[in-house]
A and B are shown apart, each in its own frame.
Chain A
């Protein structure tokens, strides 16, 4: 379970990237984080893998609490979470294989085991044929599939995806979403931030709307701004 209680984040002297967030995400859920640019989606996700710590309040992720956590424990936490980004964050001059192997190398697994596991993962995202290719030579859709394979490598209890389709065309976006859905069906929680309303509008998942550093209450979900987003999406 992931829990935010009274979480506020200020970046430096700029206050209110997040304001008094209270939120609970249950294990096994697929959660969508929706909101305009600058509303605080990435900030909220960064709190989960403790890339930043709250200015006040507490974030609890599984058995780890932001209240008192050592740098070493933050590393342990991150090795139990899968992360996927809009810009993929692959190591461009490494092969597809080495990129997916990285979390396993960090964990200190044996070579034989790593080779078997990476092949299985690449097969799952349909990238096994490219295992020797350098990451920089892939198409954007392929890069994101490799990134998802890497996020899955440690069989994490949650996958955090921060606008994973932000750089992808329609087909590649659908492909990535269905991959994440498949992962979710296997029991992993997925938290995905997006402004691609079109992509997710027919999905049955929990939606959390954010605006201006705050979570909108369910009844105010269709604020003028969100209505505009939805309308624009529907028009496309």
Chain B
């Protein structure tokens, strides 16, 4: 019976303060949506980044006039670097094969002789796969005599890193504001409810009701706001997923992802609502009675 009493009081509070409750629920929903979306987007971007990085090769083109023997000597020299994971030697013939594969034409048919230089494809150890070291490496290798040019596709990676960082920073900034607003609004609805029920609380105290019974409806009120905010947020996120997934291949989704979204938004929403209201209800109740 106590349980039903508490639940009835909770819903009574929610209905009585429905306007601020709606505002609070929407704020919780937006905050959770941004939080989860931010998490997912940065997760996807980091995935892309590390994919790109691990597939990143540094191409070292040698002077076209060099013989294979001289090239082998340069390879020996390169092998001294402990930062290199492996080196692939690409002979003139292999280069021509690659050219044919990529462009569908035989270079020897276009030009009389094979103009492609000998080159190396170098893969660095993962921990050296960052722009700082790469540019240093490029400079060093380019200074070796017989090396014509060193190439790697750093621009894409740097751009992607910048984007990821920008999204993270602005997202976290917005999130901090939203968490602040969420806290304020949840506390506000609890305060309004406690104030509206001040006479009932006073009567219940005279009848010997304990803190648990008096505070629980307000704590559950906050938890319920979090729950509804979480449900709305999960629904919104899943709709966004379906929409995005059909236009990008970048975002992968599955039933498993949906389950996770439900778990995260609901548990986060309830937890935030519960903790915020539990943390403030005592203060509001005491405030009523200190004025007496």
Contact = CB atoms under 8 A, between A and B. Distances in A.
Interface of A: 49, 51, 72, 74-79, 83, 89-92, 101-106, 108-111, 114, 150
Interface bin, chain B: 10 to 19
B206 A106 contact: no
B interface: dominant SS:
helix
26 contacts: A51-B206, A75-B209, A76-B208, A78-B206, A78-B207, A78-B208, A79-B208, A83-B206, A89-B202, A89-B203, A90-B203, A91-B200, A92-B199, A101-B1, A103-B207, A104-B1, A105-B2, A105-B5, A106-B207, A106-B208, A106-B209, A106-B213, A108-B1, A108-B2, A111-B1, A150-B207
Contacts of A74: 208
B230 to A, nearest CB: 30
B5 A49 contact: no
Contacts of A150: 207
Interface in B187-227: 199-200, 202-210, 213
Contacts of A92: 199
Nearest to A113: B1
Contacts of A89: 202-203, 206
Contact of B204 (A72, A77, A106, A114): A106
Nearest to B211: A71
B208 A102 contact: no
Given A78-B205, A79-B207, A111-B4, 7 more contacts: A72-B210, A74-B208, A75-B210, A83-B206, A91-B200, A104-B1, A109-B1
Nearest to A106: B209
B74 to A, nearest CB: 85
Contacts of B4: 111
Max count, chain B CB within 10 A of own CB: residue among A49, A72, A92, A106: A106
